[in-house]
Amino acid sequence: MRLMVICMAIILAVGYLLGGRLRNLSDLTIEWSWLALIGLALQFVTGPGSTVPLVCLYLSFGLLIVFTIKNIRVFGFAVILAGVLANLLVIGINGGMPVSKHALRSSDQGQFLGELENNPYPKHHLATDDDLLRYLGDVIAVPSPIEQAISVGDILTYGGVGIVIVAAMRKPSGQPQPVSNPEVAHAGG
């Protein structure tokens, strides 16, 4: 959660630094946003030793994929889709997200090593040599104050959200869009 808050603060700051305005976000048309909300909520279903959290996670990814495809015309959603697919791929082929010991220790989360070794949660497990595409797992350490291990898919997803928001902030609000073809501009007058 801290990572999400910090990323949003950085995204908004970049939007302002590039001349954008928060009010321009009201012009952004995102369809079926309820799918994203349900999909994200399903990712918070937790608990050890049960298949319910893993099923909820797969359902979550299904909803997020439909949501991103529905909005693919919005600049930045292709990057979000790439991130969602990267995470789904590594989770799907490994039956959960592999988390590296190094990333846990380097992100100041070494206290969770025992939990993942002794009682793996369906959505996350300690990475082993048997895991495929481990480089797509949670292998990137983000130390204190965030204290999180993240994946390439997470970076793509957050980056895509940043692109969507910054692009929307920079779009002039309520102003007619310039015509790029001069013949079209003179045809009406």
Asked if 124 contacts 130 with a C-beta cutoff of 8 angstroms, the reply is no
pLDDT digits (tens, 9 = 90+) for 140-184: 999 988 999 999 999 999 999 999 999 999 987 555 544 455 555
Distance CA 97, CA 128 (A): 11
Residue 135 lies in a domain: yes
Q: Domain range spanning residue 107? A: 33-171
Residue 26 resides in a domain = no
Task: For 106-134, write each residue's pLDDT tens digit.
Answer: 998 888 888 777 766 778 889 999 999 99
- Domains identified in the chain, total number: 1
pTM attached to this predicted model: 0.85
Inside any domain, residue 16: no
Evaluate whether residue 83 is within a structural domain.
yes
